[in-house]
Amino acid sequence: MVSGETPLADVRVLLVDDHPVVRAGLRAMLTEFEGISITAEAADGKAALKELSRLAVLGDAVDVVLMDLQMGAGMDGVAATAAIRKLAAPPPVLILTTYDTDADILAAVEAGASGYMLKDAPPEQIRQAVFAAAAGETVLAPKAAALLMNRITNPGTSLTPREVQLLELLATGLSNRAIAKQVFISEATVKTHLVHIYGKLGVDNRTAAIAAATQRRIIRPPGQAG
Amino acid sequence: MVSGETPLADVRVLLVDDHPVVRAGLRAMLTEFEGISITAEAADGKAALKELSRLAVLGDAVDVVLMDLQMGAGMDGVAATAAIRKLAAPPPVLILTTYDTDADILAAVEAGASGYMLKDAPPEQIRQAVFAAAAGETVLAPKAAALLMNRITNPGTSLTPREVQLLELLATGLSNRAIAKQVFISEATVKTHLVHIYGKLGVDNRTAAIAAATQRRIIRPPGQAG
DNA sequence: TGCAGAGTCAACCTTTTGATTGACCCGCCG
DNA sequence: CGGCGGGTCAATCAAAAGGTTGACTCTGCA
């Protein structure tokens, strides 16, 4: 939690979202709050990186990147987050997205995100999250927190990131061979992973795995845009 | 018809979207335009209907309802649109959503929407769409228009009720044998149906069929409440 | 240092699916 | 009446998926 004190300068935010409407909303919402200013905006990951380097040259670094995960075209949020984390002095990346599935959360955290919030969160929560992220703290939506807690308390029964990844490809309707090519491993390995996945989900075929994983919100429903 | 002339009064808009962020964005964006004012907002379909009846009592009707389709909880956009169209003097409903899948578009049009726009449209397009809808015109995003054109030119290849039924069972993860038992037919017949389904959906295995059918909203994602 | 878990791969075999072909019944419609 | 589409079933073959076992690497951690 960021305490109540007034910061010396505004928290400088870079907005990354492919929807003009959402950017406008965040801009309107955040600039109304004391102590936050929108320094720049970008419509996708590549543009975000460009903005960051432009601002860096100006000695005008941002304090937080507010990033959507799903972006229609261009570099997506996970890739962008990973890329940002590789910069010299990476600003914290706060994910602000629509979905709270295991897959999204895990991918974001693995990519190095400092927080994971949902777009339907009340404005006050988003405000607090921005300040917390700027202060170097970690902020998680309840489901994200619960997922990560569960992951460390009983690591045995939950799916590994790799397994979740294969599950996602599985749900798109790919064959084992197609999945293998997609992630550059052998078909044998895909089968091994699937066996593990079936075991953990308590099913014995791929369609049941998709059903179970969708139901438990481990993955998004097939074909739901990303 | 709204021509280029200045209208006597602002176009009065009701915003319906479950995300505070998006509502803020639309509000900010639309109120900046001359001739548009946001009369009320609602976070889901039920709240939207309540707002409309409240405003009707005040003799304060809105000219356009701007509606999101996907809404986490409560009545969704399609149901809300249908309900609004059943009112005494229904305002035009302009759908403004994230996805442009066949199923979404068709469902919206069937429910009586006056237009279908995407959230990533440039602000100017959204502005024009609002005025057009207020004037009783129909506005469609390019993909929506193309889909509807295509649908009237070749209405053929749609799934039979029986096929949809099997597809739903398929999506729950059942094997062919299990499906056969469930609906009291032979496994051979199940296979025949599946072959037909694959042909119509343009896929060649069951997981791809589930993905395609879910995407086109032919079936509901597994575990999604009725 | 050595073990555990994750990820990788291979060989083998069984079961399930998918594709093809052909057939029968039934109701609807021109 | 005759045909057509939907639904039913069967036989057969090829392909994919599933299950099992065992093995190798690497990382992190006790």
Say if the Cβ atoms of A172 and B211 lie within 8 Å: yes
Environment class of residue A195 by beta-carbon count within 10 Å: exposed (0-12), middle (13-18) or buried (19+)?
Answer: exposed
Tens of pLDDT, residue by residue over B138-169, are 888 876 776 665 555 444 457 888 888 899 89
Q: Which of A119, A174, A210 sits opposite B210 (nearest CB)?
A: A210
Angle ∠(A27,A21,A142) on CA atoms, nearest 5: 70
Evaluate whether A148 touches A109 at the Cβ level (below 8 Å).
Answer: yes
pLDDT in tens, chain A (226 residues): 444 445 557 899 999 998 888 899 899 999 989 899 999 999 988 999 999 999 988 888 899 999 998 877 767 888 899 888 888 888 999 999 888 777 778 778 878 888 899 888 888 999 999 999 999 888 888 777 776 666 555 544 578 889 999 999 999 999 999 999 999 999 999 999 999 999 888 888 999 999 989 988 788 776 555 4
Q: Which of A126, A206, A223 sits opposite B214 (nearest CB)?
A: A223
Using beta carbons and an 8 Å cutoff, which residues of B are at the interface with A? 18-29, 72, 96, 98-99, 101, 119-123, 126, 170-175, 203, 205-212, 214-215, 221-224
Is the pLDDT at B65 greater than 90? The verdict is: yes
Six-digit token pair at A218? 């481990």
* pLDDT number for residue A34: 87
Residues B90-108 have a mean pLDDT of 79
Q: Give the residue from chain A lying closest to B202, CA to CA.
A: A173
* pLDDT number for residue B3: 47
The neighbour count for residue A189, using CB atoms within 10 Å, is 15
Tens of pLDDT, residue by residue over A161-191, are 899 999 999 999 999 999 999 999 999 999 9
* pLDDT number for residue A200: 86
* pLDDT number for residue A73: 72
Of A179, A180, A183, the closest CA to residue A171 belongs to: A179
Tokens 């304090």 — which residue? A63
Distance from CA of A166 to the nearest CA of B (A): 13
Residues B186-193 have a mean pLDDT of 94
* pLDDT number for residue A205: 94
Q: Which of B21, B172, B175 sits opposite A29 (nearest CB)?
A: B21
* pLDDT number for residue B222: 63
| B204 CA: nearest nucleotide by C1' | C18
| A198 CA: nearest nucleotide by C1' | D18
Distance from CA of B31 to the nearest CA of A (A): 12
What are the Cα distances from residue B26, in Å, to A22, A121, A123, B116, B122? 8, 17, 15, 16, 12
**Model confidence band, residue B135 (pLDDT cutoffs 50, 70, 90):** very high
d(CA B21, CA B27): 10
Tens of pLDDT, residue by residue over B7-43, are 567 899 999 998 888 899 899 989 989 899 999 999 9
Is the pLDDT at B127 greater than 50? The verdict is: yes
DSSP codes joined into one string, A51-93: HHHHHHHTT---SEEEE-S--SSSS-HHHHHHHHHTSSSPPPE
Tens of pLDDT, residue by residue over B36-61, are 999 999 998 999 999 999 998 888 88
> Dihedral (C-alpha) A105, A103, B103, B168: value to the nearest 10 degrees?
-140
* pLDDT number for residue B151: 52
Residues B130-135 have a mean pLDDT of 93
d(CA B121, CA B100): 12
Average pLDDT over chain B reads 83
For a pLDDT cut of 70, what percent of chain B falls above it? 84
Is the pLDDT at B190 greater than 90? The verdict is: yes
Residues B102-125 have a mean pLDDT of 81
